[in-house]
């Protein structure tokens, strides 16, 4: 009986897979399988068509030169160069290999700011006023021109008179830059925003004297507004260099640099929730035996 039941069960499975009497495969005839495949072919073709149509309509709303929708940042972010993962600049004055990487990073970053490069690519603009370049209705005024930011403006921190940027002498330079924000107007009537740096409370006696380059530590208005990477191909982001003249040696100094408004109507808000909005905090330690 067991063998007969086993044969019967095996025969049922074989008949389910292919029934020679009714010509059914897996319980369906050829016409039934054909209708199912046709249904799913039409169904998924319709879904693909809807997806393509949706993407096409969405792309029609996008602008090639600036975002259709963007947050209006009250305060742009800030960052330093040389930049490390932990925002720490730690080196030993007497060991060249400990600070040479910082010098190389600054050399590479400032290469596009060489005066010879700026003269070829950008314009000599009128300082202390916006360099506005409006479009003529539907006609794009692209590519837009950019103002020169010459490396020599950074003076002692340009790497030209001192190729070590002060790192060899224990007087390091750190470059500060604002993040690019399309359409940002950070000042008014010749009043440019400026950078100030100070030590955190616990390190206030260790930071010493700070020199700024340009001397007023400002981001001149002529570099604004920014029109985007595609519209303003040769844009040179303005920089402020900070030189620590006599910082305490063999001591951790936590430095906070902030952007300040020189305007009565435009104010930058510094939030404790975002450590990069309008400020940057980094650690500086110079060791010497």
**What are 261-281's pLDDT values in tens digits?**
877 667 777 777 777 788 999
Classify residue 55: in a domain, yes or no. Answer: yes
Classify residue 68: in a domain, yes or no. Answer: no
Q: Which among 177, 165, 149 has a CA at the least distance from the CA of 243?
A: 165
Look up the pTM and report it: 0.79
DSSP labels for 244-284? ESSPPTTS-EEEEEEEE---SS--PPP-TT-TTBSEEEEEE
Classify residue 123: in a domain, yes or no. Answer: yes
Total tally of structural domains belonging to the chain = 2
Pair 212, 117 in one domain: yes
pLDDT tens digits, one per residue of 158-192: 999 999 999 999 999 999 999 998 888 888 877 89
Pair 29, 132 in one domain: no
Classify residue 245: in a domain, yes or no. Answer: yes
Classify residue 66: in a domain, yes or no. Answer: no
Q: What pLDDT, on the 0 to 100 scale, is given for residue 178?
A: 92
Pair 154, 37 in one domain: no
Q: How far is CA 141 from the centre of its chain?
A: 25
Q: What pLDDT, on the 0 to 100 scale, is given for residue 168?
A: 96
Query: With a cut of 70, which residues of the chain have pLDDT below it?
Result: 1-13, 15-18, 23, 70-74, 264-265
Contact 72, 142 (CB under 8 A): no
Rounded Cα distance, 151 and 124, in Å: 14
* CATH code, domain carrying 99: 2.60.40.1660
Classify residue 67: in a domain, yes or no. Answer: no
Pair 9, 124 in one domain: no
Domain boundary among 36, 61, 86: 61
Pair 8, 91 in one domain: no
By DSSP bridging, strand 279-287 and strand 88-92 are parallel
Containing structural domain, residue 1:
1-61
Classify residue 175: in a domain, yes or no. Answer: yes
Q: What pLDDT, on the 0 to 100 scale, is given for residue 5?
A: 54
Q: What pLDDT, on the 0 to 100 scale, is given for residue 13?
A: 65
């Amino acid at each position: 009986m067991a063998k007969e039941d086993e044969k019967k069960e095996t025969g049922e499975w074989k008949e389910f897979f292919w029934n020679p009497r009714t010509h059914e495969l897996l319980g369906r005839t050829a016409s039934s399988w054909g209708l199912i495949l046709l249904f799913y072919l039409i169904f998924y073709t319709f879904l693909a068509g809807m997806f393509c149509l949706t993407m096409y309509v969405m792309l029609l709303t996008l602008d090639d030169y600036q975002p259709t929708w963007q947050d209006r940042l009250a305060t742009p972010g800030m960052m330093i160069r040389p930049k490390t993962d932990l925002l720490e600049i730690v080196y030993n004055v007497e060991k060249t290999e400990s600070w040479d990487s910082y010098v190389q990073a600054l050399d590479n970053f400032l290469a596009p700011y060489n005066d010879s490069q700026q003269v070829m690519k950008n314009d000599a603009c009128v300082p202390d006023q916006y360099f506005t370049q409006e479009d003529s209705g539907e006609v794009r005024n692209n590519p837009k021109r950019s103002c020169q930011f010459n490396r020599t403006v950074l003076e002692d921190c340009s790497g030209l008179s001192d190729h070590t940027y002060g790192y060899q002498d224990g007087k390091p330079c750190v470059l500060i830059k604002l993040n690019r924000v399309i359409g940002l107007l950070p000042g008014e009537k010749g009043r440019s925003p400026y950078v100030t740096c100070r030590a955190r409370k616990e390190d206030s006696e260790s930071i010493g004297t700070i020199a700024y380059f340009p001397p007023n530590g400002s981001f001149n208005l002529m570099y604004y507004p920014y029109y985007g990477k595609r519209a303003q191909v040769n844009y040179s982001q303005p920089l402020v260099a900070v030189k620590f003249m006599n910082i305490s040696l063999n001591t951790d100094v936590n430095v906070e640099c902030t952007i300040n408004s020189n305007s009565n109507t435009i104010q930058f808000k510094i939030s404790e929730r975002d450590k990069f909005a309008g400020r940057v905090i980094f650690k500086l330690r110079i060791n010497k035996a």
